[in-house]
Amino acid sequence: MRLSLSLAAAALLASCAWGPVLEPYAVGAAERMPVAESATVWGVRQGARLHFTHVDGASLPSRGGGGYPVSLVLAPGQHTLRAYFVTPDHRSTEQSLTAVLEAGHTYVVEYLLIPGTPAVLMKLVDQGKNQQCSYRRTDELRGTAVLHCTARAAS
């Protein structure tokens, strides 16, 4: 009986560990910065999956089975982000995106499917300073989520 309960608990914990961590992962100097002084980059879009694997050539941690980060907090300035991306129709690509990020801005990775080809193009889109984004899980077992962004209330 105890063995059965232990195995069931281990299986439950293991299944939770494979879902992505949905909070933005602070990289480098951004770990010590207030949100207003850093930039946030969001990667998962509706129906697609994206994982950031490198920032400025440095590998990101998989965070104990939680998967590579799906969103990042970075210091302002130029950064090169490496991302692995899978579209809803199962096309995949690994690309680098280079951009100059501004303090307090929110960025979202957008993608374009080239009809009739397997090609996928990705780019960072600046949403400005007045966006509040978060993920909502759509499937706990597979760890999928949908990104929702709304305008922040004026202060």
Instruction: Read off the pLDDT of residues 57-111 as tens digits, 9 standing for 90 and up.
Output: 999 987 655 678 889 999 999 999 999 988 888 888 899 999 999 999 999 998 8
Tell me the pLDDT tens digit for each residue of 99-152: 999 999 999 998 888 888 888 888 999 999 988 888 887 766 555 678 888 887
Q: Element (H or E) spanning 9, and its range?
A: helix 2-17
Residue 120 to residue 50: CA distance in whole angstroms:
12
The domain spans of the chain are 2-151
Burial 132-150 (b: 16+ CB within 10 A, else e): ebebeeeeeeebbbebeee
pTM: 0.79
Distance spanning both ends of the chain, measured CA to CA: 58
DSSP strand pairing (120-128 vs 131-139):
unpaired
